[in-house]
Amino acid sequence: MTTNLARRHFLSTSAAAAGSLVVGFHIPFARDATAQGAPAQGAQGALAPEINAWVVVRPDDTVVIRIARSEMGQGSLTGLAQLVAEELECDWAKVTTEYPTPGENLARNRVWGNFSTGGSRGIRESHEYVRKGGAIARTMLVQAAADGWKVPVGECVAANSVITHTPSGRTTTFGKVSAVAAKLTPPADAPLKDPKDWKVAGKRIARLDTSNKVTGAQIYGSDLKLPGMLNAAIKDCPVFGGKIKSVDTTAVLKRSGVEKVVRVGDSAVAVVADTWWHAKTALDALPIEWDHGPHAGASTASFAAVMKAGLDAKDAAVGNTVGDARAAIATAARTIEAVYSYPHQNHATMETMNATARYTPERCEVWTPTQNGEAALAAAAEASGLPLAKCEVYKQLLGGGFGRRGAVHDWVRQVVAIAKEMPGTPVKLIWSREEDMLHGCYHPVTQCKLTAGVDGQGNVTGLHMRISGQSILAALFPQNVKEGKDPVVFQGLNPPGPEASIGYTFPALLIDHAMRNPHVPPGFWRGVNLNQNTIYLECFIDEIAHATGQDPLALRRKLMANHPKHLAVLNAAADRAGWGKPAPAGVHRGLAQTMGFGSYVAACAEVSVSDQGVLKIHRIVAATDPGHAVNPQQIEAQVEGSFVYGLSAALYGECTVKDGRIEQQNFDTYRVLRMDEMPAVETIIVASGGFWGGVGEPTIAVAAPAVLNAIFAATGKRIRDLPLKNHDLRKA
């Protein structure tokens, strides 16, 4: 894809476009925009040459690496830059980064590929073309130097932004030849390095984006300020599917700072004011009468009954099958059965949903934290009624994403609808925490009945996993649901393959799904369906082990013989934790393993439960095999963060529905893990090479089952529905 790049001074034109806004905040390319939108100039007064779509080298040797995926804390911005820099052979100290805009991507025939930043795919799905981008740019820079010296290019090498003609020892720098290199025809291809030769990639390098995050200087979407900007607060009907029955839009117009009250669609109303606080307080004072719609009677309990019926329903979509599991179970010496469930949860990003929009009949611009700039652009176009080419999105740093800011851009549609009512005036919409809690795209709810057939020696002869419940794709991408089957439902349970495959071999297996969709909208919630599927399977394996008198690790090893990568991480975690050796007094261990987002993960948790039933998670040893490890210290950060996310869910995470609406409206009722509950985490990176897996999500899935299995070891209590806060953990 790097062979047909448009040859032009992309940086300078983009800088001019962005600079024309004449605003003092971070926008893409702002570093290259001089005060009033003049073309970007390097130290020597020349335009900054774009070598190719991924690499700009300024005359002062600064290397600007373009990053298409969004940075939301997961570190991909640094990791992707490492991969480009590795092949470019540039001086890492001179690297900066910037986002191309979705509009530029569209205008350049999607030269930067996919912007979507979810599914832990930031690196694993773009490593090849970004490395090629770096390699091709290096080839062109070296060629330009060789041409200048009139020597064969094969006699020249690049390292640390310096090009050397080896026979003569002459040297030059990237910055000195970049203008010439930019005019060369790029080679069709360039070979990539063997990862064993990496010098920048694979290293424990510091992130590129830390310093502004410790001084308050970092601007997030909600911090944005445009000249003449107004602020908006919004309330959507608290019951999903409801509408506004009546609202007196004049009731708050006399309040301080209030400019306008806008109905947004048929279900929401926004107040626009000089400040957000004025908008928010006026909105709180606005009398709104709701028509709660068809789901006003729905509750968590009513939908649980629907899912329960699905556990024994005749029709179900099959995700994985081996042999005749029903027959194997029917003829087994013994059967073991258990029913598990998993609740709705909100992403609860620290920064609530927000966006700023400016609409004129000719153009619609949106500034927003998004995991998918192109999807945000599409939402802006649809909401504004303008063609894509007349819209633009400037991606802002995300105060957390976790899947909420990727597939659905409801807040972008809202802000554009509001801005459309005030052409030419920029409007910033910030959701209150309460709005954010009530209008999420929730972790889907499911139940699961597991039935195992076991022979006289404790061998599993057949396993049936019946999942019943919510499908994300049915709500968000129904075109991908074929014959009632949502393939994403089976994450971690798939047949052997490179994505989310099950780590066990059973003589007979049936995993199927009875789709039952409640009215609560689902979304991709960090870890997605791997989360509950891993709880279901890993806790049930533990149940089988205890029911048949086998050690949970020994049973897994027996079932995992054909799955060496799964087994390797499990063994690594178990060995480091000291499985089979005595734990400290009162401490008990639990195991879990899974595969998802292209990586293999396992955990061993150590917990104690007091006589009063108070749980303490002391330590978790985690092992991850992502194939290639691009930045080990950031993988460790993602693994630790995954435990916070996964344990928050396990201990507290639950959005319950009453009268059709979510009950939890803030962190006082939607608790999450805090410092005092955080266990020590030891991360083992087993980078076995040969594949590229993600690291932002898979470990979340092993957090809860490892702890639940350890709780069973400590108390004899088998917890089959979360969160733990609803359970009495005093010993059975």
**Which residue ranges make up the site for another protein (CB under 8 A)?**
72-75, 92-93, 203-207, 209-220, 222-223, 225, 231, 256, 275-277, 348-352, 397-402, 430, 432-433, 633-634, 636-637, 640-645, 648, 666-668, 672-676, 678, 680-681
Name 159's Cβ contacts closer than 8 Å, sequence gap at least 6: 89
Least Å from the CB of residue 197 to another protein: 18
Whichever of 213 and 363 has its CB closer to another protein, that residue is: 213
Q: Which is nearer to another protein, 340 or 402 (CB)?
A: 402
CA 532 to chain centre: 17
For CA atoms 492, 497, 502, 506, the dihedral sign is: positive
Comparison of 599 and 648: residue with beta carbon closer to another protein: 648
Report the chain's terminal Cα–Cα distance, integer Å.
61
- Rounded to the nearest whole angstrom, what is the least distance from the CB of residue 347 to another protein in the complex? 8
CB of 32 to another protein, least distance (A): 21
Q: Could you tell me the CA-to-CA distances from 182 to 58, 139, 148, 459, 655 in Å, in that order? A: 11, 11, 14, 65, 54
- Cα 619 from Cα 276, distance rounded (Å): 43
Q: Alpha-carbon distance 390 to 365, whole Å?
A: 9
Are 372 and 116 spatial neighbours (Cβ–Cβ below 8 Å)?
yes
Q: Which of 637, 694, 647 lies closest to 673 in space, CA to CA?
A: 647
Q: How far is the CB of 594 from another protein (least distance, A)?
A: 19
Q: How far apart are CA 463 and CA 322, in angstroms?
A: 10
Residue 57 or 488 having the CB closest to another protein: 57
Q: Between 151 and 229, name the residue whose CB sits nearer to another protein.
A: 229
Q: Min. distance of Cβ 398 from another protein in angstroms?
A: 6
Q: Supply the minimum distance, in Å, between the C-beta of residue 6 and another protein.
A: 32
Give whichever of 32 and 71 is closer to another protein, judged by the CB atom: 71
Shortest CB 634 distance to another protein, Å: 8
- Which amino acid does the sequence have at 579? W
* Closer residue to another protein (CB): 343 or 632: 632
Q: Given the complex with another protein, which of 288 and 678 has the nearer CB atom?
A: 678
- Least distance from another protein to the Cβ atom of residue 565, Å: 25
State the Cα–Cα distance between residues 527 and 403, nearest whole angstrom.
Answer: 9
> Is 482 exposed, middle or buried (CB count within 10 Å of its CB: 0-12, 13-18, 19+)?
exposed
Smaller CB separation from another protein, 7 or 225: 225
Nearer to another protein, 149 or 667 (CB): 667
CB of 222 to another protein, least distance (A): 7
Sign of CA dihedral 141, 144, 145, 146: positive
Could you tell me if 641 and 695 are in contact, meaning their C-beta atoms sit under 8 angstroms apart? no
Shortest CB 123 distance to another protein, Å = 16
Name residues whose C-beta falls within 8 Å of residue 530's C-beta, 6 or more positions apart in sequence: 491, 492, 500, 594, 596, 597, 697, 698, 700, 701
> How many C-beta atoms lie closer than 10 Å to residue 397's C-beta?
21
* Alpha helix ranges (H) inside 28-75: none
Query: Which residues are 515's β-sheet partners?
Result: 469
The nearer residue to another protein, 173 or 432, going by C-beta atoms, is: 432
Name the minimum Å distance from CB 557 to another protein.
30
Q: Work out how close the CB of 45 gets to another protein at its nearest, in angstroms, rounded to a whole number.
A: 27
> Which lies closer to another protein via its Cβ, residue 273 or residue 500?
273
Q: Toward another protein, which CB reaches closer, 517 or 648? A: 648
Tell me how far, at minimum, the Cβ of 714 lies from another protein, in Å.
22
Residue 726 region, left (φ>0) first, then alpha (ψ -120 to 50), else beta? alpha
* Residue nearer to another protein on the CB measure, 72 or 481: 72
CA–CA dist 299, 229 (Å, integer): 41
How many Å apart are CA 130 and CA 2, to the nearest integer? 9
Q: Is the peptide bond preceding residue 723 cis, with omega within 30 degrees of 0?
A: yes
Contact 292, 242 (CB under 8 A): yes
DSSP state of 494: B
Structure tokens, 446: 């499911």
Q: 162 and 172 in contact (C-beta within 8 Å)?
A: yes
Place of tokens 């979304």: 523
User: Minimum Å distance from CB 348 to another protein?
Assistant: 6
How many residues are given for the chain? 732
With residue 383 as reference, give the H or E element that holds it: helix 373-384
